[in-house]
Amino acid sequence: MEKIYYYDNYKTEITLDDWAESPRDWDNLGTMLTWQRGYSSPDTNEFATPDDFIEWWNENCGVNGIILPVYCLEHGNISYSTSNYGDKWDSGQVGFIYVTSEDFAKEGVMLADAIRILENEVKIYSYYANGDVYSINTSIKIVCDSCKHVEWEYVDGCGGYYGGFDLEDLPEAIREEAQKDFHITSRGVRV
């Protein structure tokens, strides 16, 4: 969804961020592996099947780490979660996200926090995979004194709003209208 708001001598454009980078390129705690026909695994996956991965996990990590299932729901859009969607036709488990106890201890992360971080990593990847990443750019109107030609000069902007943005991320003059257009809640945008 793209919207342009004009106010005073400014315009603010809210667009999908075509330049968003995969959150799997960030410094993540977990490793996310999937086996889906027609899709690449979010992280490098050297295992031919999920069973190969589970065999490796049992031999190398066992109970010394965290492994969560990764589910996918594909029905028009695509989304990922560590919770089962419960849709037997369009969803199912497609992989795992894991971290070894050595890795989360090295990062100084507590067990409960590590689980929450892994769940959040899957959620953010889901936003990216679904194209739910926004960019907000503001420009000022420049009018030529002699010919009255109008140009827009970039003032400020930011991209990489994965899954939405808050009202505070927008100029005050457009918040009310944008809230209606994008169904913004206190937790961010939901289109």
Residue 188, domain member (yes or no): no
Say if residue 158 is in the same domain as residue 116: no
Q: For residue 172, what is the DSSP state?
A: G
Say if residue 39 is in the same domain as residue 11: no
Work out the average pLDDT over 107-126: 93
* Calpha distance 75→88 (Å, rounded): 12
For 13, 23, 117, 140, 154, the CA distances from 159, given in Å and listed in that order, are 11, 13, 22, 18, 14
pLDDT tens, residue by residue, 62-82:
778 999 999 999 888 899 999
Which pLDDT band, with edges at 50, 70 and 90, does 6 fall under?
very high
Q: Which of 49, 40, 17 is nearest to 128 (CA)?
A: 17
Say if residue 32 is in the same domain as residue 78: yes
Q: b/e for 138-166, b at 16 or more Cβ within 10 A?
A: bbeeeeeeeeeeeeeeeeeeebebbbbbe
Say if residue 45 is in the same domain as residue 105: yes
Residue 147, domain member (yes or no): yes
pLDDT at residue 61 tops 90: no
Q: For residue 22, what is the DSSP state?
A: P
Q: Which domain holds residue 162?
A: 3-20+132-182
Say if residue 100 is in the same domain as residue 113: yes
Which pLDDT band, with edges at 50, 70 and 90, does 187 fall under?
low
Say if residue 66 is in the same domain as residue 146: no
Say if residue 57 is in the same domain as residue 85: yes
pTM of the model: 0.87
State the Rg of the chain over Cα: 21
One-letter identity of residue 37: R
pLDDT at residue 191 tops 70: no
Residue 187, domain member (yes or no): no
Q: Which residues pair with 16 in a beta bridge?
A: 134
* Calpha distance 22→9 (Å, rounded): 35
pLDDT at residue 190 tops 60: no
Domain count, the chain: 2
Say if residue 107 is in the same domain as residue 155: no
Say if residue 40 is in the same domain as residue 113: yes
Final residue before a domain boundary, out of 84, 108, 129: 129
Residue 189, domain member (yes or no): no
**Tokens at 81, concatenated:** 């979660």
One-letter identity of residue 173: A
